[in-house]
Amino acid sequence: MKSIDDGSQVTGADGEFHAQDEAVDLSTTKPEAWIALGFFWILGLTVFYQFFTRYVMNDSAAWTEEIARYLLIATVFTGATIGVAKNNHIQVDILFRYLPAKVARVLATLVDVLRIAFLAAAVVLTIMMMMKLGNTSRMTMVELPMNVVYGVCLVGFALMCLRSVWVLVVHWRRGYSVLERPESTMEDR
């Protein structure tokens, strides 16, 4: 029998490869992930419908391109919330390796606070833009107000802001952030 470094076996006594999948646990999946998955599936169906009408029926549905664009925006904004909740957006942590621990702690907290401030400002600015537009700005092909799209962006920014506050609380309670300990995750408590 061959074995891997961790002691688990690759082949059985019969010399055949035996693999067993781990049980799938969706209980830790965040609500934003389900919403993003829903938007993604609707986007996929819309693009498939567009492909079908254009290349099979030879009569393209004009509204699909615009709606697909807005569904992609919705997928991105809800997906970004997942990134904030997992605290795995792009970051540069090389500086934190060379800073004293107390300075790194203060700087990491400042990063968390600035992220919250940025996202809160994005919420306010999105609300201001939506109020200025009102219902006068309409989608090109579909007779709906553009504020529907901006509303999804607003919800995405608001959820990212709330998740950023949650990330700050987690970092504060455990005494370090992923910037200070890059090997850590949000599940480490």
DSSP codes joined into one string, 116-138: HHHHHHHHHHHHHHHHHHTTT-B
Q: Which residues have a Cβ under 8 Å from the Cβ of 107 and sit 6 or more positions away?
A: 95, 96, 99, 179
Region 83-110: mean pLDDT is: 86
Percent residues over pLDDT 70 in the chain? 94
Question: What tokens were used for 119?
Answer: 């996202």
Region 138-144: mean pLDDT is: 86
- CB contact at 8 A, 154 and 71: no
- Count CA within 13 A, CB hemisphere, residue 30: 17
Q: List, for residues 5-32, the tens digit of each pLDDT value.
A: 555 666 777 878 877 788 888 888 888 8
- Give the residue extent of every domain in the chain: 31-174
In the prediction, which pLDDT does 22 show?
A: 84
Angle 148-151-153 from CA coordinates, rounded to 5°: 120
Q: List, for residues 114-127, the tens digit of each pLDDT value.
A: 999 999 999 999 99
In the prediction, which pLDDT does 8 show?
A: 60
The pTM (predicted TM-score) of the whole model is: 0.81
In the prediction, which pLDDT does 14 show?
A: 81
Main-chain dihedrals φ then ψ at residue 7, nearest 5 degrees: 95, -15
**What does the mean pLDDT of the chain come to?**
88
